Structure 1
């Protein structure tokens, strides 16, 4: 099976050949190398992606529900980068769930608090993971997420970091989630 990355590179090579930048022989040699080179062994996180329902597949621009649940599909994936849309749509889901828990609290304080507590526990890891990936998008260490624990102002620092656009193009944490070159 040929991976999509190899196909994209072959298309780029073909454009270079058509533009006269590389010769037919150079094109054929590079194409053969892309098609028949041995594939690297999968890392543990890549093996886990088999079980995550295509966690690396981004939802369409107008698929808001898909964006809301994407961090849950990437449950404990601290590698790579996440765009602002992924973070803020997940934050919207988080706030909506807490609001629903608050509504249940009107009927029964015990039920509402139990539901909210279970939800917060269930999404703690994906919340931290999406924040780490947002830091990676800005080419910063995931440890910057620890600013959140500073009393009184930590949450403000966290929100400011989540509002900052990521670096354009690839960085040390992976390719640009927006596909910018």
Structure 2
């Protein structure tokens, strides 16, 4: 949970680096929260035909900027520009390429700063 809260504290920090652990633990907890919020939406009858409900929508709005920021910081950790995040706009292939980039190991100190450490 510490990883998740660390990313939330850096709500709109797009500079610097995010370690592989910080990124993936944040994403894991984010997915778990998304499932729980979706379950609450459905159990309260707030879901729509698309499956998204009121709480899911609010959570998505809340988590959008932190998710984008940690993704850009993760790309920085692999010595890539944050603009690489736009590769997701390429259907299917873009998501696969970004997934591979996020899974790559950290580089030593680079132009984006020293290697990040947890909290």
1:125 aligned counterpart, secondary structure = helix
* More moved, 109-118 vs 134-143: 109-118
In the alignment, is residue 68 of structure 1 matched against residue 8 of structure 2?
Answer: no
**Cα shift at 1:121:** 0.7
Give the structure with higher Rg (CA).
Answer: 1
Q: Root-mean-square deviation (CA), in Å?
A: 1.7
Give TM-score scaled by structure 1 length.
0.59
Name the residue aligned to 2:110: 171
Runs of 5+ consecutive residues of structure 1 not aligned to the other structure: 1-64
In the alignment, is residue 134 of structure 1 matched against residue 74 of structure 2?
Answer: yes
Give TM-score scaled by structure 2 length.
0.87
Task: Give distance in 2, aligned partners of 1:144 and 1:152.
Answer: 15
Question: Could you list the per-position Cα deviations for residues 24-58 of structure 1 after superposition, in whole angstroms to 9, with x for gaps in the alignment?
Answer: xxxxxxxxxxxxxxxxxxxxxxxxxxxxxxxxxxx
Runs of 5+ consecutive residues of structure 2 not aligned to the other structure: none
Name the residue aligned to 1:78: 14
Task: Give distance in 2, aligned partners of 1:116 and 1:177.
Answer: 31
Question: Could you list the per-position Cα deviations for residues 46-84 of structure 1 after superposition, in whole angstroms to 9, with x for gaps in the alignment?
Answer: xxxxxxxxxxxxxxxxxxx11121111001000111101
**Structure with the larger RCO, 1 or 2 (CA within 8 Å, 6+ apart):** 2
Name the residue aligned to 2:61: 121
How many matched pairs? 114
Q: Structure 1 residues 109 and 152 mapped into 2: Cα distance closer, same or farther (>3 Å)?
A: farther
Runs of 4+ more than 4 Å apart: none
**Cα shift at 1:107:** 1.5
Name the residue aligned to 2:36: 100
CA contact (8 A) 2:4 2:29 kept: yes
